[in-house]
A and B are shown apart, each in its own frame.
Chain A
Amino acid sequence: QVQLQESGPGLVKPSETLSLTCSVSGGSISSFHWSWIRQPPGKGLEWIGNIYHNVNVNYSPSLKSRVTISIDRSMNQVSLKLSSVTTADTAVYYCARYRSDLYASLGNYYYYPLDVWGQGTTVTVSS
């Protein structure tokens, strides 16, 4: 079964770029879609963005100017880059998987929500 593991620096300085990697094991990265979610300390979940059908991306409007999500198929990894970070970006960052079914007769996809999550990695923004 698919397992996800986030990794990256636990401490990032203000104004720098946060870079995280999600390593996918137990399945092909190309078979699914991928999402990054974050959770500030003591607060709720915030969607950051998705990469789907291997190349399409969708970002939260509030983060769009600073976010890049990409896939490295050779490494079976999904990456997140968040630029110009501030203390408000301090959070647990999760990667998660979702999938879709193709309804060929209708020519469209039915999407499912996030059914496999990594354990999360804590990122603190501080000088």
Chain B
Amino acid sequence: EVDLTQSPGTLSLSPGERATLSCRASQSVSSNYLAWYQQKPGQAPRLLIYGASSRATGIPDRFSGSGSGTDFTLTITRLEPEDFAVYYCQQYGNFWTFGQGTKVEIK
């Protein structure tokens, strides 16, 4: 089983700032099957990034993903008010796993 560790646990930023979220896997993620999701309170998660770096349909270009192997990053270039939420990474290779989440909160 591939364990995913996200850091930091909480990111306190102001609107307009850049957010950089990390996801580290315990072993190489096959086929770069790494996704990022955004979840707001009381809502289901929303897919942002798949294949480590491809944006899902309708996702603004301020969201970008990068990385390969065991180290992955989600970057939000300029935080909008609606971006404050919890973000999860997920590997969807053989047995799926999620990271524990990073909360992006308003500073």
Contacts and interface: CB of A to CB of B under 8 A. Distances in A.
Contact of B47 (A46, A61, A113): A113
A115 B44 CA distance: 11
A47 B44 contact: no
A57 interface: no
Contacts of B96: 35, 47, 50, 58, 60
Given A45-B45, A94-B44, A111 B92 contact: yes
Interface stretch (A24-32, A79-87, A116-124): A116-124
A44 B99 contact: yes
A94 B88 CA distance: 15
Interface residues of B, number: 25
A58 B92 CA distance: 12
A45 B88 contact: yes
B98 A111 contact: no
A35, A111, A113, most chain B CB atoms within 10 A: A113
Interface of B: 1, 31, 33, 35, 37, 39, 44-47, 50-51, 56-57, 88, 90, 92, 94-101
Interface of A: 35, 44-47, 50, 58, 60-61, 94, 96, 98, 110-115, 117-120
For the complex of A and B, the 7 pairs showing the least CB-CB separation, nearest first, are A113-B35, A117-B44, A47-B96, A45-B98, A44-B101, A113-B92, A115-B47
13 contacts: A44-B101, A45-B37, A45-B45, A58-B94, A58-B96, A94-B44, A98-B92, A114-B90, A115-B47, A117-B44, A118-B44, A119-B44, A120-B44
